[in-house]
Amino acid sequence: MTVFTGAATAAKSSTSSTSANNASASPTVWRKTSHPPLHFNNNETRNRNLQMQLKNRGTKDDWGASLRYDIEEPTSSCSSGLPIDVPIVRKLSRPLIQQQQQKMEDLDETCSVSSTDSDRTILSPTVPMSIFDKFLCLTSNLSGLISCIIAEARKTTECEQYAVFFYDDDNKKMVLFNNETMLMTGKAYELNTGIVGRVGATQRTMNIRDVSRCPFFVSDIDEQFDVKARNILAFPLVDSSHSLIGVIVLYNKTPGFSRNDEKFIKRFSYFVANAIAHAILAKQIEEVRTRIHMVEEFKVQGEDVVIEEVDIMRLVNDPLRDWRYFSQNFADFSFPPRSVGENHFHKASMMFFEDLGFSMQYKLNKRKLSFLVLRVSVGYRPVPYHNWSHAFAVTHFCWLTLRTDAIRRALNDMERLSLLIACLCHDIDHRGTTNSFQMQSLQKTPLSVLYSTEGSVLERHHFAQTIKLLQQEECSILENLPAADFRTIVNTIREVILATDISAHLKKQERIKTMIREGYNPMSFDHRYLLMCLVMTASDLSDQAKNFHNAKRIAENIYLEFFAQGDLELQLGVKPLEMMDRTNAYVPTVQIDFLYKIGVPVFQLLATVVPEGKTTAEAIEANHMCWVALDEECRNNPAATNELEYLRDEQLERRIYEKVRKIDPRAAELASKRFEPVYANGTVPQTQDILDHRFDGYDKKYQLGCHPGSGGSGGQMNGKQQIRSLQKTKSKVSL
């Protein structure tokens, strides 16, 4: 059997001592990197091959287009005198030659390196099976697999850069792998163009010593990621079914890629090809799953829920209600709207449109409005906080604001109608996880695939769901509007729903402060936009501007969501934010920070434009004081905050009010203000605690054990300092 270990046999152009790594033989004779060795005993064959080499000299065929090799388990290596672990490489694509036993002395005579033991080992680098085990463990993460493969290749070949191309069999193109979410989204090139395309077409490795002298080199193709190629080792990835998977290009090794590098690559590429083939298959399966999920995402949440005719007729036939039907205090800014009971949310939502005159003014079809309100309510998922009761509470606060003289003067009717609809729909299909969860989670949620490039992933989805509802025949309440007005309202709804992304609000906060400081100018489109965003954000945070009991209980629901997300992230191997990690979160300090940096400023700003809402700023400042007092109480007793139950502790709540009363009696009065249980006229008294959304996590019973967070209330000020700072601010800004 003719056995060779790739003994390099440059054309006899230089002394036999030429190093295997020598860049090339004399300039006039192109070194054949892996041309069939000439050390056959049969002189006739030898001469024929020599003539072929000389004939091909300097032509495109003389470019080290190695023949395909296959790796065969060592069988007779012991008889060949080769070290036991050297795999025997047998050519597949050459005519099977007379099996001849290769004597080691032949190697000395023909190979271009001295055949000492160490060289022989170097000549035939084996690739430890442990590498392939590593590859096979990564087939579910294509990017990770590619990184691992390249790391192994660079470790052995010491190349500077690399590029990976996959073969798109459908379009017969080589596609650059750019780590994008979806496969085959990179730049595509014709097969057979450039070195990449030639290696793909011939399925043969090419080792180009000097790209500037290679006729196949095409810079636009063969130089990717701003690499300036000097030399290239490009090898095909061909799986065990001889299908081309792709091409890997290694750039710039000093002084050039050697025979050994080729040998290594030939062994390496076979396993790499199969590992990548599996990873691509896994990726394609994942993409199909994502596409299926994305199709699901385009469905309106709850669209499978049948809206019963009886429910529609109950709303349609319900006589027009005055707001006093729900409670004598229903129109107070301090009234906690959930207390009317979930069975009244739909009716009250209908009343908002009537009370503001929109039903008459825009000829809103009552049946369609009923259908929309019912369809919106089933569009919310039963998560602890971002649920239908949150949407109702937000819409109630918006209704309170829209009916004030200040807002009637500041905004036109279409803007006010847009705000009301936006509040009702602003969190439709919320999953109880944050935007950053959509973007960071390892498996890329379908929403992040759909919207991640623009940011505000969830808000864009909420808007998409809203528009789909408004376009449904049964819910098209805006059908009687002129097309231009419809577009104006839809655009306004989009802007204010996007404004509910708290990170978007923080970017606008300074502009809103400037608008307030300079005085609201109704002739300014920017001022109108900023005011609508402020009303939307205040409505979204309004639970924190009610009494402390309401604020605390709703905050509990927020942390139920946060902790459930933290549990999910831990399962996914992602470290959750401290405030979402139930074992580390300490709610009082998170609340103190959130109210001081976001909540209180929002209602102070709103109160300067809407004097009728002045009490909301006082209420949220009072709640900030309560959280500071709660923090002091809990710090003395850390064990008490091991669960969220302490937020339901009525005795603790009374102690908080006593502490605050000593500092600011007015604040204590606002924080402790409770409304009698609400019995809407003629309905069953409320039994179930409507603030209660008991919840056991998205997929696991949650283990509690949060401990007080280290350090103060975050930022540079502790709670007491923040209170003093707020009191100073209040004295400056005339509320």
Cα–Cα distance for residue pair 661/667, rounded to 1 Å: 7
Asked if 139 interacts with ligand PCG (CB under 6 A), we say no
First to last CA, the chain: 97
Task: Scan residues 385-414 and list those touching ligand PCG (CB under 6 A).
Answer: 386
State the nearest-atom distance from the C-beta of 627 to ligand PCG, in Å: 9
Q: Which is nearer to ligand PCG, 135 or 627 (CB)?
A: 627
* Single-letter residue type at 479: E
Q: Which is nearer to ligand PCG, 63 or 603 (CB)?
A: 603
Q: Is the peptide bond before 601 cis (omega within 30 degrees of 0)?
A: no
Answer yes or no: are the C-beta atoms of 279 and 144 closer than 8 Å: no
d(CA 660, CA 669): 9
**Of residues 77, 105, 104, the one with CA closest to residue 89:** 77
Could you write out the DSSP letters of every residue in 668-705? Answer: HHHHH--PPPP--TTSPPP-S-TT------SSSPPPP-
- CA atoms within 13 A of residue 647's CA, in its CB half-sphere: 23
Cα–Cα dist 636/646, whole Å: 14
Q: Is 201 in the site for ligand PCG (CB under 6 A)?
A: no
Q: For residue 154, give every residue at least 6 positions away whose Cβ sits within 8 Å of its Cβ, in sequence order, or none.
A: 162, 250
- Whole-number Cα distances in Å, 377 to 211, 534, 657: 65, 24, 36
Single-letter code of the amino acid located at 83: P
Q: How far is the CB of 378 from ligand PCG (least distance, A)?
A: 19
How big is the site for ligand PCG, counted in residues (CB under 6 A)?
11
For 218, phi and psi rounded to 5 degrees?
A: -125, 110
Closest approach, Cβ 390 to ligand PCG, in A, equals 7
- Binding annotation: 386-390, 426-427, 540, 591
Q: CB of 554: closest distance to ligand PCG in angstroms?
A: 7
**Least separation in angstroms between CB 574 and ligand PCG:** 18
Q: Residue 163 in 3-state DSSP?
A: strand
Considering only 558, 580, 609, 668, the residue that binds ligand PCG (CB under 6 A) is 558
Largest CA distance in the chain: 111
Q: Which of 268, 335, 594, 657 binds ligand PCG (CB under 6 A)?
A: 594
The nearer residue to ligand PCG, 177 or 548, going by C-beta atoms, is 548
Nearer to ligand PCG, 492 or 544 (CB): 544
Cα gap 64→74, rounded to integer Å: 26
What is the smallest separation between the CB atom of 534 and ligand PCG, expressed in angstroms? 13
CA angle 262, 268, 270 (to 5 degrees): 110
Q: From the annotation, which residues make up the binding site for Zn(2+)?
A: 390, 426-427, 540
The token duo for 285 is 């399966």
φ/ψ (deg, to 5) at 173: -130, 155
Nearer to ligand PCG, 272 or 419 (CB): 419
The span of 116-124, 202-210, 538-546, 673-681 binding ligand PCG (CB under 6 A) equals: 538-546
Three-class DSSP category at 116: coil
Cα separation of 360 and 584, whole Å? 53
Q: Judged by CB under 6 A, does residue 456 bind ligand PCG?
A: no
| 309-317 vs 366-378: helix crossing angle, rounded to 10 | 130
Stretch that binds ligand PCG, among 176-184, 302-310, 540-548, 708-716 (CB under 6 A): 540-548
Distances, alpha carbon 624 to alpha carbons 215, 307, 559, 580, 627, in Å: 74, 42, 17, 20, 5
What are the contacts of 66-70 at 24+ separation with CB within 8 A? 66/33, 66/34, 66/204, 66/205, 66/206, 66/207, 66/262, 66/266, 67/34, 67/36, 67/91, 67/92, 67/93, 67/94, 67/204, 68/92, 68/93, 68/203, 68/204, 68/238, 69/266, 70/270
CA distance 651 to 644: 15
Q: Looking at 182-190, 211-219, 255-263, 590-598, which segment touches ligand PCG (CB under 6 A)? A: 590-598
Question: Rounded distance, CA 629 to CA 728, Å?
Answer: 19
Considering only 301, 401, 544, 604, the residue that binds ligand PCG (CB under 6 A) is 544
| Residue with Cβ nearer ligand PCG (503 or 524) | 503
Q: Looking at beta carbons only, is 121 or 441 nearer to ligand PCG?
A: 441
Which backbone phi and psi does 104 adopt, to 5 degrees? -55, -35
Residue from 35, 39, 386, 396 carrying the catalytic annotation: 386
CB of 349 to ligand PCG, least distance (A): 18
Annotation says 386 is catalytic: yes
Q: Is 590 in the site for ligand PCG (CB under 6 A)?
A: yes
Least distance from ligand PCG to the Cβ atom of residue 555, Å: 4
C-alpha dihedral, 354 to 360 to 366 to 370, nearest 10°? -40
540 near ligand PCG, judged by CB under 6 A: yes
Out of 541, 628, 634, 680, the only residue in the binding site for ligand PCG (CB under 6 A) is 541
Supply the minimum distance, in Å, between the C-beta of residue 558 and ligand PCG.
5
Contact code string over 490-519 relative to ligand PCG, x by CB under 6 A: ----------x-x-----------------
Q: How far is the CB of 385 from ligand PCG (least distance, A)?
A: 7
Cβ distance to ligand PCG smaller for residue 67 or 598: 598
The CA distance from 358 to 369, in Å, is 11
| Contact window for ligand PCG (CB under 6 A) among 249-257, 447-455, 587-595, 635-643 | 587-595
Judged by beta carbon, residue 558 or residue 660, the one nearer ligand PCG is 558
Stretch that binds ligand PCG, among 43-51, 224-232, 327-335, 588-596 (CB under 6 A): 588-596
Using the contact rule CB under 6 A, the part of the chain among 53-61, 241-249, 476-484, 536-544 near ligand PCG is 536-544
Q: Could you tell me which residues are annotated as the binding site for AMP? A: 386-390, 427, 540, 591
671 binds ligand PCG (CB under 6 A): no
Shortest spacing between CB 336 and ligand PCG, in angstroms: 14
Q: Does 555 bind ligand PCG (CB under 6 A)?
A: yes
> Could you say which DSSP state residue 37 is in?
P
Beta-carbon count within 10 A of 84 CB = 7
Whichever of 355 and 540 has its CB closer to ligand PCG, that residue is 540
**Secondary structure class of 168 (helix, strand, coil):** strand
Q: Are 259 and 8 in contact (CB under 8 A)?
A: yes
Is position 591 an interface residue for ligand PCG (rule: CB under 6 A)? Answer: yes
- Applying CB under 6 A, which residues contact ligand PCG? 386, 500, 502, 540-541, 544, 555, 558, 590-591, 594
Tell me which residues are annotated as active site.
Answer: 386
